[in-house]
A = this chain, B = another copy of it.
Amino acid sequence: MKNKVLLSKSITSLILLILTNTGALFAQSATDISHEYALKAMLAAKEKAEKLDVLVNIAVVDAGANLKAFIRMDDSFLGSIDVAIKKAKTSRYFDINTGDLGRLTQPGGIIYNIELSNDGLMTFPGGVPIKNKEGKIIGAIGVSGGTIDQDHEIATVGSNAIIE
């Protein structure tokens, strides 16, 4: 089991290495994330989750907030599939880290209960916009399964993988 996990980790690392070294050849200034980049962000997030020993679901949406890439790690929460997808969509719907949105939606907040729009928003940490090198938002990534801090950290690693 241990060996299997280690092998799995080394494969993901290898894939990432390949994608990273060739990444410079892709246009990083496109206004919509490509599927190769979505794959790259997703696998970078997965590698981070493996390092942290956290089981998560990872979703990437494109500039139109449409699902672009997704992976569900073995034994991660079943309920996190929808949460991860909704975090990614929420982040792109309002171009914001989902945790930052959540500060405004609390009781007494200026947009209290906006979560009831768009078939349900997720407004706690774990959704992060993905930007191109010029800083334009081209998609978003949502992570669910760990603590909200871990989810945010993993999503951030995924998002940053595009511009590194």
Cβ contact within 8 Å between B110 and A148: yes
CB proximity of A93 to chain B, nearest CB, Å: 3
Contact of A123 among B63, B68, B113 (CB under 8 A): B113
Known: A14-B18, A15-B15. A111 touches B148 (CB 8 A): yes
Within 8 A of B (CB), among A108-148: 108, 110-118, 120-124, 147-148
Query: Would you call A38 an interface residue if the criterion is a C-beta within 8 Å of the partner chain's C-beta atoms?
Result: yes
Query: Would you call A4 an interface residue if the criterion is a C-beta within 8 Å of the partner chain's C-beta atoms?
Result: yes
Cβ contact within 8 Å between A94 and B120: no
Cβ contact within 8 Å between A72 and B78: no
Which 10 pairs of residues, A with B, have the shortest CB-CB distance? A79-B93, A64-B64, A116-B120, A70-B70, A113-B115, A107-B107, A82-B117, A82-B118, A83-B117, A79-B94
Listed in ascending order, the chain A residues whose CB lies under 8 Å from chain B are 3-4, 7-8, 11, 14-15, 18-19, 22, 25-27, 32, 34-36, 38-39, 62-74, 77-83, 86, 90, 92-95, 102, 105-108, 110-118, 120-124, 147-148
